Amino acid sequence: MSQQDFEPPLGQDLSSINVVLETSTSSDELFKDSEIKTSDFKVISPETAKFREKYFPQTSNKQWNSWRWQIQNSYTNFKKLSEILDTSSIDDFDFLSKSRKLPLRITPYYASLLHDKPIDYPLSKSVVPNKLELIISQGEENDPLHEESMCPVENLVHRYPDRVLMLSTGFCSGYCRYCTRSHMVAKDKKHFAVKAWETSINYIKNNPNIRDVVISGGDPLTMPEKHLEFLLSSLNAIPHVEIIRIGTKVPMVMPQRITNTLVKMLKKYQPLYMSIHSTHPDEITPEVVEALRRLADAGIVLGSQTVLLKGVNDNIEIMKELMLKLLKNRVRPYYIYQCDPIPGSSHFRTPVSRGVEIIKGLRGYISGYAIPHYVIDAPGGGGKIPFLPEYYQGREGDYIMMKNFEGKSYKYYDPIK
């Protein structure tokens, strides 16, 4: 579609936004020759600065702090990755590269957190491809949540009565090895599909019961501001849409994206919620603290979502540290997800009992604000089902029997009328 073909949806006047939208454009292409503009993001932690001096000696602060530079210079092949990580234990480079699995993509910033650590360092495990991904186990499927069957129009999932999930792009600034949407992210012709957005926006417009729209993908914050603003303003103009939520991992893997310019634009579309995908407390660096501060200061309501991953964060102390750090930075922990059964993910999955133990290890020991819901997104599209430790022990006559976080028994008078 050429620019001339583009018509603003919903009869809106978008002249102030000056949208220049490509359709079906590969994001790599989109960012390839883009200008590195001066960034207002200035924070570089000492560890990251050391990494930059060693591996990107010609790179200026201005370049490093540009999110476009971060995307352009991301680690996307094993050869480049082996310059900073001991990849000798990965003996299937070629095979992994050619498989139809998620591609490799790690920003230089995120690589600076991994480079001096062993290959089994939790953050590395979450983003470095592994041959265990080639083992397909029982119950695993490409689209375990059956989202594709719940799309009334392309790239719009309508599972719950009052809310929809809009898959706005197939591109992410880093590919998580356990991604639920690995069936759609990083695939060609899934980027910036304006036609699909228009269809989705019109569907939402024609369904007055939709009051909550989640923009996800892929990662919406990898889109240029004008594209994102086009979406936000289009949705914001629909009277029955009460809130918009953005699902993103960008603040954790590319905090440089959270520029004052972006935040100023986002601030116009209140009430705006952001669900930030966080994995491990080591992600909360000075850069991330600054990114979260900017978002929270702009009045964006911040929540977190974390996937429970074996050998990465399946530990009470690690989860406690992560949840407390998030809360301290004004991010309310929202969900811990059981790892969805996508093909080749069994090495990441813990028993469900581990998730329950983790919640048990948090409840009562840290502020209730820091305790997320542990949920399984039911395979087949049943939605999120919470799992809780057994505090309720049954009834004895007019009393409810219960246990507290220390395992001590109590009863509560609750007469049967």
Give the residues lining the site for ligand SF4 (CB under 6 A).
172, 175-176, 179, 181, 185, 217-219, 249, 277
- Of 172 and 295, which CB lies nearer to ligand SF4 in the complex structure? 172
| Rounded least distance, CB 175 to ligand SF4, Å | 4
Residue 355: cis peptide before it, omega within 30 degrees of 0: no
The dihedral through the CA atoms of 394, 397, 399, 404 has a sign that is negative
- Pick the catalytic residue: 80, 117, 211, 384? 384
Return the axis-axis angle of helices 286-297 and 260-267, rounded to nearest 10°: 30
- Of 81 and 176, which CB lies nearer to ligand SF4 in the complex structure? 176
Q: How far is 240 from 229, CA to CA, in rounded Å?
A: 19
| Rounded least distance, CB 105 to ligand SF4, Å | 9
Q: Which of 81, 85, 114 is nearest to 283 (CA)?
A: 114
- Pick the catalytic residue: 159, 177, 205, 320? 159
| Rounded least distance, CB 342 to ligand SF4, Å | 10
User: Quick check: 19 and 212 in contact, CB under 8 A?
Assistant: no
Catalytic, 151? Answer no
Catalytic, 414? Answer no
Catalytic, 403? Answer no
- Of 63 and 350, which CB lies nearer to ligand SF4 in the complex structure? 350
For residue 399 the two structure tokens come to 């009393």
| Rounded least distance, CB 51 to ligand SF4, Å | 22
Catalytic, 294? Answer no
Describe the chain by its helix, strand, coil percentages, rounded to 5.
35, 15, 45
- Pick the catalytic residue: 105, 340, 349, 360? 340
- Of 233 and 346, which CB lies nearer to ligand SF4 in the complex structure? 346
Catalytic, 339? Answer no
Number of Cβ within a 10 Å radius of residue 33? 7
| Rounded least distance, CB 171 to ligand SF4, Å | 8
Catalytic, 181? Answer yes
- Of 112 and 305, which CB lies nearer to ligand SF4 in the complex structure? 305
Q: Which of 287, 324, 321, 282 is nearest to 126 (CA)?
A: 282
Q: How far is 375 from 377, CA to CA, in rounded Å?
A: 6
Residue 380: cis peptide before it, omega within 30 degrees of 0: no
Catalytic, 384? Answer yes
For residue 200 the two structure tokens come to 């989705």
For residue 317 the two structure tokens come to 């102390």
Q: How far is 214 from 384, CA to CA, in rounded Å?
A: 15
Q: How far is 135 from 198, CA to CA, in rounded Å?
A: 39
- Of 179 and 238, which CB lies nearer to ligand SF4 in the complex structure? 179
- Of 305 and 346, which CB lies nearer to ligand SF4 in the complex structure? 305
| Rounded least distance, CB 2 to ligand SF4, Å | 29
Q: How far is 42 from 64, CA to CA, in rounded Å?
A: 9
- Pick the catalytic residue: 52, 105, 163, 360? 163
- Pick the catalytic residue: 125, 172, 337, 339? 172
| Rounded least distance, CB 176 to ligand SF4, Å | 3
Number of Cβ within a 10 Å radius of residue 395? 12
- Pick the catalytic residue: 52, 68, 105, 181? 181
| Rounded least distance, CB 27 to ligand SF4, Å | 12
Q: How far is 152 from 155, CA to CA, in rounded Å?
A: 9
Rg, C-alpha atoms of the chain: 22
Plot region of 238 (φ>0 → left; ψ -120 to 50 → alpha; else → beta): beta
- Of 17 and 186, which CB lies nearer to ligand SF4 in the complex structure? 186
Residues 6+ apart with CB under 8 A from 62: 36, 38, 39
Hey, which residues are catalytic here?
Answer: 159-160, 163, 172, 176, 179, 181, 340, 377, 384
